[in-house]
Amino acid sequence: MKLRHVVAFSAAFAALTSSAKAEDLVFMLTNNTRSTLERFYTSPVGVNDWEEDVFGNDVLQPGESIKITIRDGRTVCKYDMRFEFTEDSDLDTTEDTQNLCELGSYTIHE
């Protein structure tokens, strides 16, 4: 009887530890607009709040690209993204949803 519980516990522990090893989501983000991208937020689909600004104190100038790595420990692939441009820009805040596990690059256009 005890052996059966140990085996069941070991199987459950293995399942938990393998799902906890989420891979980082990595993709290239390119700003193909004429405006500076000041803030970039991501959040898994279904989460009602935006995570922290991915850029921190940095910005993405027109024509520039940056490698984005999301290390949030989640095992989801679909993320909402929010792009905020400089105040003097004529571009509105843009939002999009993508499967980041399949995405190698993302280009924001006007």
Mean pLDDT of 51-56: 93
99: domain CATH number? Answer: 2.60.40
Q: Is residue 2 part of a domain?
A: no
Mean pLDDT of the chain: 83
Q: Is residue 88 part of a domain?
A: yes
Mean pLDDT of 60-82: 92
DSSP letter string over 11-49?
HHHHHHHHHH-PPPEEEEEEEESSS-EEEEEEEETT-SS
Mean pLDDT of 49-56: 93
Residue 41: predicted pLDDT: 96
**pLDDT tens per residue, range 77-102:** 899 999 999 999 999 999 999 998 88
What is the band of 22 on the pLDDT scale with cuts at 50, 70, 90? low
**Structure tokens, 5:** 């519980």
Domain that holds residue 60: 23-106
